[in-house]
Structures are given as C-alpha cells and as structure tokens.
C-alpha cells in the first residue's frame, strides 16, 4: 500500500478562522456609504465592511495569540456577506480590498511564518456568475448551457413561488450547482485552484461541501494539479462525517474534524449542551459522554485514518456553520476551557474561530434554533472592555503549550485512564512524555494512574499547564488530584 503523505507544516499549525466581513476594517479600503454599523446585530444580508487589509493591520494580535495559519471564509467577489455565492473566482471582492489586498496579506503573513488557506466554493456558483447569467439572458441559446443543469424552461431564479427549473445546491436557487461532468467546467475550476496557489502563493484550499462533487476523478485531478505547483499545499474538505474514502492520499489531506468536535463538546459540556443550537446540523454533540464514552469515541477516530492524515485533521470547537461553543454550553466558560485544553493536546491542527478567544458575543438565546448570523458578530476592537481577558490569557497559554512541546503535535497518543468524569492520556515522542488530565465533573476527583506502559522507572514530574496536583506513589503509580471542571498537563 502506498504511503499517504500530508503537508508537514500542518502538523505544527494552529489555525485562526476569519469571517472577512466581520474581523477588522482598514481605512485604506474605500467604504460604501451603505454599510451596517460595525458591531451591530448581524443579519443574513448586508455588510459591516471588514476587509483583508484590516487583517494585515492586526497580524500582531494574531501572532501574539500564537497562531501560525489563517483560514479565510470566501473572499472572492460575491453579492452576499459570507461570499459563498461567487460571482468572479479571479477577483477578490473590492469591499475586501481587491487582489492587491490579498497579495499584501499573504506577503506580510508569510514574513511572520503565518500560512494562508482560502475557502474554495467549487460545487456551486451564484446567479450573478457570468456563465449562469448568460443562460438567464440567452435561454436555450446560451453557449454555457452545459455548465449547469437545466431541467425545464423558463428558469425562475428569484420567484420562490415557482420552480427554479435548474439544479441548485440544497435547492437554494441562489446557488446553481456546477455540472462538473462538463469538461469546460472542470478545466475552469482546476484553473482557479491553480491560479491562487501559483500567482498569490496561498498555502492551500478549504473545500466547501466537497463531497457534493461526485464526478469521477475530479478531486484526484484537483489534488495533482495543485500539488504540482506546491507539494505542501493543504487540501482540507468540509465533510462533517467519517471520510475514509476521501482520505486515502489521492484526494484530500484532511477534513474539518466535526467528528472530534462532537465528541469533545459532548464530554466537556455534557448536559449543558443546548440541543436547539446543535440540532439539524451534520454533527451530534449529544447525548453527553462520560470519560469512558469520550475515550471510546477518540479511539474510534484514531483508528479511522492513516496517522499522517490524523496529524493534519482540522480540529475545531466552533465555526461560521455552528453556534459559538460558549453559546452551545449555555455560557459555561469552563466547558470552553476544557474543550480548548483537549483541542490543543489532540493530534491534528487546532482551529480557533475568530473572537472565541475573547468570548465574543454569540447567540442571545440558547434555547432557540441556531441562526448562522448569530455566530458572525463583528470583532469589538474598539470595545476592549467587552473582552474576556481571562479566557484570552487561557487560550494564549494553551496555544503556547502546544507550540512549545513537539510531543503534543507529533507524538503518540495513548489512553491512561477513563473513569467517571476523569480522562487522562499521554502524548509521547522520543524526547518527552506529557500527561494530560481533565475532570469534567462538578466535584473534585482523586484518581490513581499506572504509568508502567508509558515510562520505565519512577517518573519525574513537572507541571506544564493548568491545575491539579500529581504526587508520585512509587511503583510506577501516580495520584492525580483534580479540582472540579479543571485540567492540567505534566511533563514526565
């Protein structure tokens, strides 16, 4: 069997996901007179005017967090604030600063050792995409008729009372689905994938609803052509479920690891999870898991993929497609801290959704169904008094822990103990062993661990992070004393 290779840099990456319209504004980008006020209630339509040069101007903040990779939601020209409705795949949206802003961003990020990954929306376009617009104008005479799938005439792209008469993603008529069986469509999309890697030196693609493209050989060709330009380009797919068939080394390097997300939330938030905020999504962070249940879920995940794949999975607690984790946990900040500790000590590339490090405002009502816009509040740069500085300090420390210890990034993973509310595991390489322990319960816990399978002789312990005590009993045994809703890391 051919060995699976994945980008080496991703194994050391900590991502920061940015929703461009809501992260930061720069005075260097001309603003419309019709923007919504920065920090106002997010709405499905309308813009608040974030841009890419605003990101450039806050790279100090990003670097100080310990971040070394950025993942951007779509940045190409589009008539919606989330920009998943692409009009022009070769133009960065002018409201974001255009192509010149992206070039400056990539240049300045690379100077700091920060990688840049863009969102590729290749399953569907928009009603304003030129080739689809030509069909709307020309009807059956359009030269681009086979770029999409027309089922009947006339087309109704805006009148919801009538059938659209063309195939659209999720039956959303504003998202006409590409016909990737057409050679010209495939070549167009391959060219887009190559262009931004070659001409702007981006470091990879996050691929939106990637499993929806089922044309044989499509993703294999995409991978080979992108990797021919940059063999270390990261190709990560939005697939929420198990994805063994997609992660065999011929298509994607990784997925957004919502399977881990679900397990981590079910364990660290438990019964606090607001079902209203997570139902009808493609992951299930409920029912609650105890330590044994979490251990079982993790062992299943670790057995799904090649180790090189596991080490580059994008591990997240929240994103633009979910409620903020703090909202899911009904405001329980201990859940966020515990989840972050697990995230920073688990194999793969952690991803922090912008603002979660300061407990940015999220859903107002945790008992109402999720409105995506509630997870897209503007970053309150001008209101630092609203920041949760304790959470910010915790996340910076947790990221620094990961960055400081190669064993947390590339070391072996081994369960040590899973009893009741307490889960203990080890990460180990040739130089170091780190022991991670979390207590998700409301009571203090004292547990005894046997370390005979991990190290020889009596351990020498040094606290590396967090809370708890770890007296050595002798005979390769260790007692862990953990406060309620807390975790700690020790170097052995």
Residues labelled as active-site residues: 208, 238
Question: Residue 490: which region, alpha, beta or left (left: phi > 0; alpha: psi -120 to 50)?
Answer: beta
CA distance 461 to 480: 12
Cis peptide preceding 214, ω within 30 of 0: no
Q: Which residues of 365-375 are buried (b: 16+ CB within 10 A; e: fewer)?
A: ebeeebbebbb
CA distance 173 to 417: 51
Structure tokens at 481: 């004393």
CA distance 173 to 177: 9
* Three-state SS annotation for 348-405: CEEEEECCHHHCCCCCCCCCCCCCHHHHCCCCCCCCHHHCCHHHHHHHHHHHHHHHHC
Please compute Rg for the chain using Cα positions: 23
3 state SS of 150: strand
Spatial neighbors of 449 by CB under 8 A, at least 6 apart, are 416, 417, 424, 435, 477, 478, 479, 480
CA distance 207 to 373: 21
* Three-state SS annotation for 250-274: CCCCEEECHHHHHHHHHHHCHHHCC
3 state SS of 159: coil
Burial-class residue 155 by CB neighbours within 10 Å (0-12, 13-18, 19+): buried
Structure tokens at 419: 């009893």
Bridge-based pairing state of the strands 234-237 and 254-255 = parallel
- Across the chain, how many H-helices and E-strands are there? 15, 18
CA distance 109 to 58: 11
H-run or E-run covering 184: helix 183-199
Question: Residue 355: which region, alpha, beta or left (left: phi > 0; alpha: psi -120 to 50)?
Answer: left
Structure tokens at 113: 């050792």
Q: What is the DSSP letter of 307?
A: H
């Amino acid at each position: 069997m051919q060995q699976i290779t994945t980008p080496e840099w991703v194994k050391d990456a900590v991502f920061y996901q940015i929703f461009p319209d809501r992260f930061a504004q720069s005075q260097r980008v001309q603003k419309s007179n019709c923007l919504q006020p920065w920090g106002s209630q997010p709405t499905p339509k309308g813009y608040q005017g974030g841009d890419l040069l605003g990101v450039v101007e806050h790279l100090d903040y990003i670097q100080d967090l310990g971040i070394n990779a950025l993942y951007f939601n779509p940045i190409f020209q589009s008539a919606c604030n989330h920009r998943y409705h692409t009009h022009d795949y070769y133009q960065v949206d002018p409201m974001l600063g255009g192509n010149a802003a992206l070039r400056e961003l990539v240049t300045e990020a690379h100077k700091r050792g920060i990688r840049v990954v863009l969102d590729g929306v290749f399953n569907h376009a928009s009603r304003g995409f030129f080739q689809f617009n030509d069909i709307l104008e020309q009807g059956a005479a359009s030269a681009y008729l086979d770029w999409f799938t027309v089922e009947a005439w006339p087309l109704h792209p805006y009148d919801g009372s009538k059938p659209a008469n063309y195939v659209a993603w999720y039956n959303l008529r504003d998202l006409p689905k590409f016909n990737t069986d057409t050679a010209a469509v495939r070549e167009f999309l391959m060219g887009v994938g190559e262009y931004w890697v070659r001409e702007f030196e981006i470091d990879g693609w996050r691929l939106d609803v990637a499993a929806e493209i089922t044309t044989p050989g499509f993703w294999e060709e995409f991978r080979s052509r992108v990797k021919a330009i940059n063999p270390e380009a990261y190709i990560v797919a939005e697939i929420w479920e198990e994805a063994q068939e997609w992660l065999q080394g011929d298509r994607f390097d990784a997925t957004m690891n919502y399977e881990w997300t679900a397990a981590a939330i079910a364990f660290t938030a438990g019964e606090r999870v607001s079902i209203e905020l997570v139902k009808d999504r493609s992951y299930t962070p409920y029912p609650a898991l105890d330590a044994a249940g979490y251990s079982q879920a993790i062992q299943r995940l670790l057995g799904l993929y090649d180790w090189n794949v596991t080490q580059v999975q994008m591990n997240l607690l929240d994103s633009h497609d979910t409620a903020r984790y703090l909202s899911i946990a009904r405001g329980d900040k201990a859940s966020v801290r515990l989840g972050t500790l697990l995230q920073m000590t688990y194999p793969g590339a952690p991803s922090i959704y912008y603002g979660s490090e300061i407990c940015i405002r999220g859903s107002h009502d945790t008992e109402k169904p999720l409105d995506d816009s509630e997870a897209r509040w503007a970053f309150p740069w001008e209101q630092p008094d609203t920041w949760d500085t304790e959470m910010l300090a915790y996340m910076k420390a947790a990221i620094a822990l990961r960055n400081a210890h190669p064993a947390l990034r590339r070391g072996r993973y081994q369960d040590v103990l899973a009893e009741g509310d307490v889960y203990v595991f080890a990460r180990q390489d040739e130089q170091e062993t780190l022991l991670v322990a979390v207590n998700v319960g409301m009571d203090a816990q004292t547990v005894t661990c046997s370390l005979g399978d991990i190290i020889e002789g009596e351990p020498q312990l040094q606290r590396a992070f967090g809370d708890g005590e770890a007296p050595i009993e002798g005979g390769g045994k260790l007692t862990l004393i953990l406060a309620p809703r807390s975790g700690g890391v020790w170097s052995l």
